[in-house]
Structure formats: C-alpha cells, structure tokens
Structure 1
Amino acid sequence: METTFVFKANIQVANPIEVGDVGTGIRRVIPIIGGTFEGNGIKGKVLSGGADYQMIRYDGVTEALAHYVIETDDGVPIYVINKGYRHGPKEIIDKIIRGEQVPDGSYYFKTTPSFETSSEKYSYLNRMIFIGEGIRRPNDVQISFYQVD
C-alpha cells in the first residue's frame, strides 16, 4: 500500500474543558481556535469553532474525535471529521495532558480523517481514504494528511 502527501495542518487549540470522569474514562473537549494548512494544490486556514472531543480511557489511550472546518485560499469550506488514537509511555502522555512539550516520535498519534465538500475542485476528498499522523504541542496540533493510493 502506498500513500501520497496531501497537506499539513497546524491547528491552534485553546485550553481543554475538563468534563471529568464519565464512567468510561476522562472526557475532555479541546476547542479549535484557528490555524493554517498547506499541501499539494491546496492551502488555507482552519476556522475557529470546531473541537476535539477526547476520551482518555482507563488503559491510557486517548480517543480523539475532532470536528472542524477548513477553508481553502479560494474560499471553499471543507468539513473535517478526524478520529484517532494517541498513546505511549505514561510519563510522556502525562506531560501531553498537562500541556507540556514532549519529543516528536515519543508516542503514537495516528488518525483516520474524512472530508466533506460541495466543491468539484476538491471532490476527491469526498471519495478517497486518508490517514493522518499527529504531533501534539502545548498550543497546537500538527497533522500531516496522506491519501491512501
């Protein structure tokens, strides 16, 4: 199986809203407040108003479920649903949860995004499979998106 790089997004996030222990883990909501993305024939901004609805499971795995909208530089809105998992050594994950910087590659952070758009120009996003690889930083999330060929 081969992949093709599509774009890299730098997603700015606000402080988490701690919902707390809901019986199946710790629920957190991470507001998305902006950002940018750029890649092969596509670039633009991440719009504010989305969020990552995280569940930190009792086994230490964080289930991420982000819903947000990106807008291309030619004015096309694209709805993004990005589901994934983040896990690694406890000391690394604890630092991430506290909002501290950790070394790239010291944990697993992979996603399975899907996209929705009404634009013919970007309609390939509606019908292809994509994977993402993330890096969590204190104030943003960097995700590289790849199309599965």
Structure 2
Amino acid sequence: MNLEHLFTLRALVGESQTANQGPYGDRRYMPVSGGEFTGKHLSGTLLPGGADCQLVRTDHVAELDVRIMLQENDGTRFLLRGLGLRHAYPKALQRPGKNDTTEPPGIYFRQSFHFECPPGDHAWLNGILAIGTGHRDEQGVLIEVFEVP
C-alpha cells in the first residue's frame, strides 16, 4: 500500500486536566491552543478551541479522541476528527531525566483521521481515511498525516 503524505501537523497543546480515576482509567483533557499544518496541497493553521480527550486505561494505553478545527490558507475551515492509541514500550518508560520534555524512542503513537469539509475545493477530504504517526516534543505534538488509498 502506497500512502500519500497529506501534511505535517504541529499542534500547540495547553496544560492538561485530569479527572479522578473512573471505572476505565483516568480521563485527560488536553486543549489545543493553535498550531499549523503544511503539505504539498494543504497548508494552514489550527484554530484554538480543539482538544484531545484521552482515556488513559489501567494498562497504561492512552485512547486518543481528537477534534480540531483547521483553516486552510485559502480561508476554508474544516474539522479534523481523530481516534488513536499512544503508549510506551517498556524500555521507553526508563526516561533519562525527570525534566526531559522530549519523547523517548519506543513510544507507539498512531491515529486514524476523518475530515468534515464544506462543498468546494476541499470536499474530496470528506471521502478519504487518513492515518498518522506522531510524537511529542517541547513545542507540543507533531503528526505526519497520510492518505490511505
């Protein structure tokens, strides 16, 4: 399967809020305060107000549930919805320093994405499935997004 790179997404993430442990694990709300996406055919900004509402399960796997509004450089706004998983392989949990803000190797971070676009030049996004692989760093979250043919 040949995946086509759609764009690189950089999300600026605010301070997370965590609810007390429920029957399925901890609920974590991570607000998205902005960012950008850049690609061959799509580029623009992430509008503030989106979020990643996570469930950190008792097996330490985070279920990701993302809703963010994108604005293309031509002014078109559309919704990006993502579901995914993020967890560390055992060796990745042995971080070099407590204050290290970069993510260690060995983190599994994968998502599937759907788009909701208005009629027009970007309506083709409504009919595709995209997948992404990402990582966190000192600036937020960086995700490479690909179209599944």
**TM value normalised by structure 2:** 0.90
Structure 1 counterpart of 2:12: 12
Displacement of 1:123 in angstroms is 1.2
Against the structure 1 CA distance between its residues 91 and 31, is the aligned structure 2 distance closer, same or farther, given a 3 Å change threshold?
farther
Distance 2:67 2:103 in 1: 25
Pick which of 117-126 and 63-72 moved more.
117-126
% identical aligned pairs:
28
Displacement of 1:94 in angstroms is 8.4
Deviation digits for residues 56-94 of structure 1 (CA, Å, limit 9, x no counterpart): 001111000011100001100010111100112356458
Whichever residue aligns with residue 129 of structure 1, its letter is L
Structure 1 counterpart of 2:101: 100
Aligned CA-pair RMSD? 1.8
Displacement of 1:31 in angstroms is 0.3
Q: Is the 8 A contact 2:116 2:126 kept in 1?
A: yes
Distance 1:93 1:124 in 2: 40
**TM value normalised by structure 1:** 0.90
Against the structure 1 CA distance between its residues 70 and 121, is the aligned structure 2 distance closer, same or farther, given a 3 Å change threshold?
same
The answer for unaligned runs of 5 or more in structure 1 is none
Pick which of 81-90 and 8-17 moved more.
81-90
Structure 2 counterpart of 1:46: 46
Against the structure 1 CA distance between its residues 91 and 57, is the aligned structure 2 distance closer, same or farther, given a 3 Å change threshold?
farther
> May I ask how many residue pairs the two structures share in their alignment?
146
Q: Is the 8 A contact 2:91 2:106 kept in 1?
A: no
The answer for unaligned runs of 5 or more in structure 2 is none
Runs of 4+ aligned residues of structure 1 deviating over 4 Å after TM superposition are none
Distance 1:25 1:34 in 2: 28
Give the secondary structure class of the aligned counterpart of 2:125: helix
Against the structure 1 CA distance between its residues 93 and 83, is the aligned structure 2 distance closer, same or farther, given a 3 Å change threshold?
farther
Displacement of 1:119 in angstroms is 3.6
